[in-house]
């Protein structure tokens, strides 16, 4: 297939000669990788309907690590029709919206609470949860990976991380679903539900933090209460904001990535069998799945001063997408980038967790969750195959399969 990529060739146009990416077109949504490849062959930077996109590994890393590119205010709500009011105020406080010194201070305080050891502490919970979910479908040899496995999986894990009772996971699940609408195109319409969920969640977390203050444990809330740098500590409101960001950043991402992973493996049965036979490949499998088929496809930034990027002058005020999905298939970095291969030797790290100042704080947890789930699924669902279409959500925001009906050999 040949992508229909026009170039902004009119002399005098701001980015004359750069390839355009028609990200809103059905053709792009159908086969984005092909469009990235064709555009990247012309330039590391492409033009979007609303700004620019960095497409190469190098350019993406530069955008993520250069302080002249800021997180857009209030999670970029302005692009979705919200420019003030309570929803804007909520979004503006999120760790993901902060920049400069304000962000640096909070990262320094909370960073140590998200250790590999903290993620390892939850391995037993992850194993119990995924085992329970598979037990429910194993005998029948069929299920919908999205609804039966991937959706319910991360919430009890996040509850354990925060140190909340397991039986409250339904509450967290509903809040996370509602709050996540903040990242959707229809955020303005969904504002009442988002605000109600944020309010209920805050009341819950408020009580939790107060009660934990009297008996600190090894959970995240306790670590955040303990966190101190040079005499500085998180305020109560900052602590609630971090906990709330973790809840929203750490659920929809993992569940969609797990479903996407199983879908890729359904298309590569040899790799599924390989993982079942060699569970030690799990960390590499996670890396490869998230490189090849990520559900978070980029990070949004705003140039706050004139900047040069890969030879292109970018004026202040330009919206720039660091397209990690395109960078993950940069042929200068990955040999035969479209190939899915969980035995790749020493590849450069994929960029699906972002990079630089806002690099995902949950990276250790997410990797452990995915590795645990995939290892057990590969063993207990041998010979997995799709039994129907697996359409995806729009590629804007967090994406992933809406449904993934499968069959597998029962009784394992």
Which residues contribute to the site for ligand HEM (CB under 6 A)? 71, 95-96, 107, 245-246, 249-250, 253-254, 257, 296, 299, 352-354, 358, 360-362, 365-366
Q: Which residue is nearest to ligand HEM (CB)?
A: 362
**3-class DSSP state of 114:** coil
| 158 closest CA partner among 252, 64, 72, 226 | 252
User: From CA 171, how far away is CA 34, in angstroms rounded?
Assistant: 41
Beta carbon nearer to ligand HEM, 104 or 196: 104
- Output the six-digit token pair for 96: 């993901």
Q: Residue 280 has which token pair? A: 């030690």
Closest CA to 96 of 180, 161, 171: 180
Alpha carbons 319 and 20: distance in angstroms, whole number: 15
The DSSP code sequence of 116-169 is HHHHHTTHHHHHHHHHHHHHHHHTTTEEEIIIIIITTSHHHHHHHHHT--GGGH
Q: Of 173 and 245, which has the nearer Cβ to ligand HEM?
A: 245
Q: Which residue lies nearer to ligand HEM by CB, 152 or 362?
A: 362
Shortest CB 229 distance to ligand HEM, Å: 15
| Shortest distance in whole angstroms from residue 11 CB to ligand HEM | 35
Question: CB-wise, 3 or 146, nearer to ligand HEM?
Answer: 146
The residue (of 43 and 244) whose beta carbon lies closer to ligand HEM is 244
Minimum CB separation of residue 268 from ligand HEM in Å reads 19
Q: How far is the CB of 269 from ligand HEM (least distance, A)?
A: 23
Cβ-based nearer residue to ligand HEM, 19 or 294: 294
Pick left, alpha or beta for residue 375 (phi over 0 → left; psi -120 to 50 → alpha; otherwise beta).
alpha
**DSSP of 54-86, one letter per residue?**
E-SHHHHHHHHH-TTEEPPGGGGGGGGT--SSH
The smaller minimum CB distance to ligand HEM, of residues 95 and 133, is found at 95
Environment class of residue 134 by beta-carbon count within 10 Å: exposed (0-12), middle (13-18) or buried (19+)? buried
In this complex, which beta carbon is closest to ligand HEM, that of residue 144 or of residue 287? 287
Provide the minimum distance between the beta carbon of 290 and ligand HEM in the complex, in angstroms, as a whole number: 7
Q: 3-state DSSP helix/strand/coil percent for the chain, to nearest 5?
A: 55, 10, 35
Q: Which is nearer to ligand HEM, 18 or 366 (CB)?
A: 366
Least distance CB 371 / ligand HEM (angstroms): 11
Min CB(274)–ligand HEM separation in Å: 22
What distance in Å separates the CA atoms of residue 412 and residue 410, rounded to the nearest whole number?
6
- Contacts of residue 91, defined as CB under 8 A and 6 or more positions apart, other chains included, come to 74, 75, 77, 82, 97, 182
Least separation in angstroms between residue 315's CB and ligand HEM is: 21
- For residues 179, 182, 185 and 189, what is the CA-based torsion angle, rounded to 10 degrees? 70
To ligand HEM, the closest distance from the beta carbon of 102 in angstroms equals 11
Q: In the bound complex, what is the minimum distance in angstroms from residue 96's beta carbon to ligand HEM? A: 4
Q: Which helix (H) or strand (E) holds 324?
A: helix 324-327
- If the CB atoms of residues 286 and 390 are measured against ligand HEM, the closer one turns out to be 286
- Angle subtended at Cα 288 by Cα 395 and Cα 321, rounded to the nearest 5 degrees: 35
């Amino acid at each position: 297939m040949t992508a229909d990529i026009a170039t902004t060739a009119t002399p005098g146009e701001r980015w004359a000669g750069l390839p355009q990416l028609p990200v809103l077109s059905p053709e792009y949504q159908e086969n984005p990788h092909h469009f990235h490849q064709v555009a990247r062959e012309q330039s590391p930077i492409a033009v979007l309907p609303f700004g620019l996109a960095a497409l190469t590994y190098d350019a993406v890393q530069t955008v993520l690590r250069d302080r002249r590119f800021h997180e857009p205010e209030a999670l970029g709500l302005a692009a979705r029709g919200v420019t003030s009011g309570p929803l804007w105020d909520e979004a503006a406080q999120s760790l993901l919206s902060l920049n400069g010194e304000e962000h640096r201070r909070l990262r320094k305080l909370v960073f140590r609470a998200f250790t590999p050891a903290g993620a390892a502490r939850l391995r037993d919970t992850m194993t119990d949860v995924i085992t329970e979910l598979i037990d429910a479908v194993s005998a029948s040899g069929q299920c919908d990976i999205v609804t039966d496995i991937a959706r319910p999986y991360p919430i009890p894990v996040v509850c354990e991380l925060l140190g909340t009772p397991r039986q409250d996971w339904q509450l967290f699940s509903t809040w996370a679903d509602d709050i996540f609408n903040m990242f959707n195109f229809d955020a303005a319409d969904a504002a009442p539900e988002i605000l109600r969920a944020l309010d209920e969640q805050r009341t819950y977390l408020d009580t939790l933090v107060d009660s934990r203050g009297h008996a600190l444990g090894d959970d995240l809330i306790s670590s955040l209460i303990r966190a101190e740098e040079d005499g500085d500590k998180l305020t109560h409101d900052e602590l609630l904001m971090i906990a709330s960001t973790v809840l929203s950043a750490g659920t929809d991402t993992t569940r969609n990535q797990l479903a996407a992973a199983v879908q890729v493996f359904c298309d590569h049965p040899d790799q599924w069998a390989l993982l079942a036979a060699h569970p030690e490949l799990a960390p590499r499998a996670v890396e490869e799945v998230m490189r090849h088929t990520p559900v978070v496809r980029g990070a949004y930034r705003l140039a706050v001063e004139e900047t040069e990027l890969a030879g292109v002058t970018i004026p202040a005020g330009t919206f720039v997408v660091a397209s990690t999905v395109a960078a993950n298939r940069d042929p200068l970095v990955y040999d035969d980038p479209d190939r899915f291969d969980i035995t790749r030797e020493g590849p450069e790290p994929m960029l699906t967790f972002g990079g630089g100042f806002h690099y995902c704080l949950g990276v250790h947890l997410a990797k452990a969750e995915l590795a645990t789930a995939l290892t057990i699924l590969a063993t207990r669902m041998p010979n997995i195959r799709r039994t129907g279409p697996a359409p995806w959500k729009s590629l804007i925001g967090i994406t992933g399969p809406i449904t993934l009906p499968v069959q597998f050999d029962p009784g394992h």
